Structure 1
Amino acid sequence: MKDIFTCDLRTNSKLPLGGKTIVFGGDFRQILPVIPNGSRQEIVNASLCSSYIWSNCKVLTLTKNMRLSVLASNIQETTTFAKWILDIEGKVGSLNDRETTIDIPDDILIVDSTDPIGLLIEFVYPSIVENAKNPIYFQERAILAPKNEVVQEINERLLKLFPGAQQEYLSSDSLSQADFVHDNIDETLYSPDILNGLRPSGMPIHKLVLKVGVPVMLLRNIDQKSGLCNGTRLRVIALGKRVRKAEIISGSNIGNRTFIPRMSLTPSDKRIPFIFQRRQFPLAVCFAMTINKSQGQSLSKVGLFFRQPVFTHGQLYVALSRVKSKDGLKILIFDKDGKLTNKTSNVVFKEVFGNL
C-alpha cells in the first residue's frame, strides 16, 4: 500500500496525506474491521486507532444520540435508554472486557414461550399481508441476528407468509479454469451440486426465491451515485427472466426504481481452497439481516433474535442502537438449551478505547 506520509507535489508538504484535512467518521463502540478467523489482537490491530497515523489525528467526540432524539416523546425515558445502550458497550476502564453477561429489561423481551419467533415477527411486521403492496411499510423495519443461518430461517418463514406467487432463480456455478492449469485440480471432484451448496459470506445463494413486493438487499456495488451499493435495501417491483425491477427503500435515494441484472461473482472467502464463479442476481431476501449488515441504518421497528449470542466486539451495541425509540425494540433470547432467557452475552475489546 502506498505510504500515507508522502510528498504532495501540489502542496510541497511532507505532512500526512500531503497536509490535506481528512475527516474519518466512525464509532469504536461499533463492529471493528472484519478479519475472517482473526484473533482479538488481529482485529484490534486492523482498527484505525492502532494505525501509525493515529497520533496525527485529532479526536472530535459527538455527544447527542440523534437517532433516538428523532421520535423522542418522553425525554426522560429516551435519555435513560440512550445511557443504557452506551453502558452496554462498557466504559473505559470498566470490568466489561471481552465477554460478559448482560441482563435485558423485561419490558423489551419476548417472554411468551408458545411461539416466540412468531411473536417477534408479529411485532416487527404486523398485518404484513395487508401491507404487502405498501412501499413505505418495509423502509424502517427489520429483524436482526448475529449469524446468517438464523437470518435465512427467518427470511424463509416470512417469505412463506407473504402473499403472491414465488419464482425461483438458480445460479450457474463453475470452477475457475485457471485452477485446473496451475493447481492441477480434478474437476470431477467438484460437481455442480457441490458448488451449488456453497454459501460463502457476501454471495447470493444458489436458489434465490422471490415474490413481488418482497424486501431484498443488494450484495454488490453497482452504481454508487444512484445509491445502488452493497447493503442497500430495495423492494421487488417486477420479476423477469433476465432482470429484476426494484425500488430503493433505504439511504438517500428512496423511491428510485432500477433494474438488477445477473452478475458473475467470485467469493473472497479464503477458506474455500479453490476459485469458483457464481452467476446470479446479487440479491438476498431481507425481512431479516445480520447485525453487521445493519450498520448505518436507522429503523423504527427492530426485533433482535439471539438464538446464539453475539461473537465479536460491538455487535450487541450496534443491534440495540439501530432503533429510534425504546418502544420500537423487542428482543428474543434463547439459552444453550433452547429456553427463553433474559440474559445474553456481550463482547468488548476495551483496548480500542485506550487512545480516545
Structure 2
Amino acid sequence: MLEELVNKVFSNFEENVFNMQCLSERSILAPLLKNVAFTNHMFKNMMPVPATNFYSVNTAVSDEDSMHYPTEFLNSIELAGLPLHILTLKVGMRKIIRRNLNPPQIINGTRCTIIKVLRNVLEVNASSGLYKHENHLIPRIILQPADTQLRFPFTGKHFLVRPCFAITINKAKGQSLAEVGLDLRTLVFTHGMLYQMSHCPELATNSRFTF
C-alpha cells in the first residue's frame, strides 16, 4: 500500500531525483512521526547517489557532568525537537528547516533541496517561502535542550534539518503543496488531524490528494 502511494505521488522518482521543480511540491502526509520516519527512510534508500553520515557533537555543560555522563551516553539521548546523533544526507534530498536560521530568508518550516554537502555547511535551494529557488548556506548550530526531565544540561551541534519527502499532518500546516499523498495506515480520525488538514487553506485550495 505504501509503495503504491509513493509511486503515485512521486512517479518515476529515481529518474526525477535531481528535478527540483518536479519533486519540491510533493509530500506524503501521515499522522505519526514513526510513519513519517519509515517513509523518509524508504526514499533515502531509493536515491541512487552516495550517502554521507554526519554525527552531532554533544558535550555536557559542566566539567563535573562530563565526568559522570560520557559522550557515548549523550549521543544516545533522543528528545523531541532534538535531531538524532547520526544524520544521513544525500545530494538531492528534500529537507525542511527546523529553526529560524536567517529570517526572513530561511525560517522554521522552509522546504529545501540539498545541492552540496560540506563538512560544516550545507548548500540548499529553497523550494518554499519568500526566497524560493534561491540558494542558501545552512551551518551546524549549537542547541541546548530545554527538557526539564534531564538532570544535567548539555549542548549538541547539529544540522537543523529534517527529511520532508514525508511529513506529519501537523507539520503540513502552512505548507503549499501541489501533490499530496495521505498515508492512512494509522487512522487519523481519532487524532482530529483529518479535520485540521481539510481546513488548512494552502492544502485545501491548491493540492491534489492521493490515498
Letter in 2 for 1:119: E
Bigger CA radius of gyration:
1
Gaps of 5+ in 1: 1-115, 332-356
SS at match of 1:136: helix
| Unaligned ranges ≥5, structure 2 | none
With normalisation by structure 1, the TM-score equals 0.54
SS in 1 for 2:162: strand
Letter in 2 for 1:200: L
Per the alignment, residue 329 of structure 1 pairs with 209
TM-score (norm 2): 0.88
The question of whether the paired residues in 1 share the 8 Å contact of 2:60 and 2:66 is answered with: no
| Cα deviation 1:15-63 (Å, max 9, x = unaligned) | xxxxxxxxxxxxxxxxxxxxxxxxxxxxxxxxxxxxxxxxxxxxxxxxx
- Hey, what does 1:225 align to over in structure 2? 104
Q: 1:266 to 1:307 in 2, by over 3 A?
A: farther
Worse overlay, 274-283 or 256-265: 274-283
Give matches, 1:275-354, under 5 Å: 275-310=153-188, 314-320=192-198, 321=200, 322-324=203-205, 328-331=208-211
Going from structure 1 to structure 2, the CA distance change for 1:167 and 1:295 (only over 3 Å counts) comes to: same
RMSD (Å), alpha carbons? 2.3
Instruction: Indicate the SS of the match to 1:303.
Output: strand
CA deviations on 1:165-191 (whole Å, 9 max, x unpaired) are 11110101122228x5xxxx6843x33
In 2: Cα distance, 1:186 partner to 1:159 partner: 35
Q: Any idea what the Cα deviations from partners look like across 1:261-312, whole Å, max 9, x if unmatched? A: 1110122333444322110111112111122211111212112223434488
Instruction: Give me the identity figure in percent.
Output: 32
Number of residues of Structure 1 aligned to a counterpart in Structure 2? 208
Instruction: Give the letter for the 2:162 counterpart.
Output: A
- 2:115 match: secondary structure: strand
In the alignment, the residues of structure 2 paired with residue 172 and residue 124 of structure 1 have an alpha-carbon distance, to the nearest angstrom, of 36
CA contact (8 A) 1:266 1:275 kept: yes
Q: Would you say 1:118 and 2:27 are equivalent positions? A: no
Moved over 6 A (4+): none
1:1-356 alignment, distance < 5 Å: 116-177=1-62, 180=64, 187-188=67-68, 190-226=69-105, 228-310=106-188, 314-320=192-198, 321=200, 322-324=203-205, 328-331=208-211
